[in-house]
């Protein structure tokens, strides 16, 4: 069994590993656990719950609205969510709206991408990249999870 935090109500759900690819619905709010879109997590408490309670890794995009490369990266990150879920939860954190999280992870440039599993950073890269490179980078680092 795997624990998956609902992107809508933050309830922790137990999902059999072999049924993870089938998606599933939250036992509390009955909405889909995976929708193929990045989840905005600017609240530190919500971020921590998803990072520590979920058994799937999170790919986190630290971005800002004023950042040109971040705007370039946004549609690529959206496409990556459709390809990487349900094996990875893609999360967007607005570094201006959540300076606490940006500070905690020592974000010095944006966009910065972090792969986090059970609250621990696994890998990090900075700058925009094309979709195939993003998918390859993520899968390369997932092999160590």
Question: Active-site positions?
Answer: 67, 70
Angle at which helix 131-142 crosses helix 68-84, to 10 degrees, equals: 60
Q: Measured between alpha carbons, how far is 33 from 131 in angstroms, rounded to an integer?
A: 23
Q: Measured between alpha carbons, how far is 51 from 49 in angstroms, rounded to an integer?
A: 6
Backbone angles phi, psi at 139, to 5 degrees: -65, -35
Retrieve residue 117's tokens: 């599993």
DSSP string, 63-132: E-TT-HHHHHHHHHHHHHHHHHTTTSEEEEEETTT-HHHHHHTT--SSSEEEEEETTEEEEEEES---HH
């Amino acid at each position: 069994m795997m624990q998956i935090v609902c992107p809508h109500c933050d309830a922790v759900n137990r999902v059999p590993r072999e049924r993870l690819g089938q998606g599933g619905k939250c036992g509390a709010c009955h909405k889909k656990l995976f929708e193929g879109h990045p989840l905005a997590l600017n609240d530190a408490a919500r971020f921590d719950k998803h990072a520590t309670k979920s058994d799937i890794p999170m790919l986190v995009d630290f971005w800002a609205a004023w950042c040109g490369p971040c705007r370039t990266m946004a549609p690529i990150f959206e496409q990556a969510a459709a390809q990487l879920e349900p094996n990875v939860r893609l999360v967007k954190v607005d570094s201006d709206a959540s300076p606490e999280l940006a500070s905690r992870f020592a974000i010095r440039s944006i966009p910065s991408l972090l792969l986090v599993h059970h609250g621990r950073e696994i890998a990090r890269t900075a700058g925009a990249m094309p979709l195939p490179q993003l998918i390859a980078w993520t899968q390369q680092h997932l092999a160590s999870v």
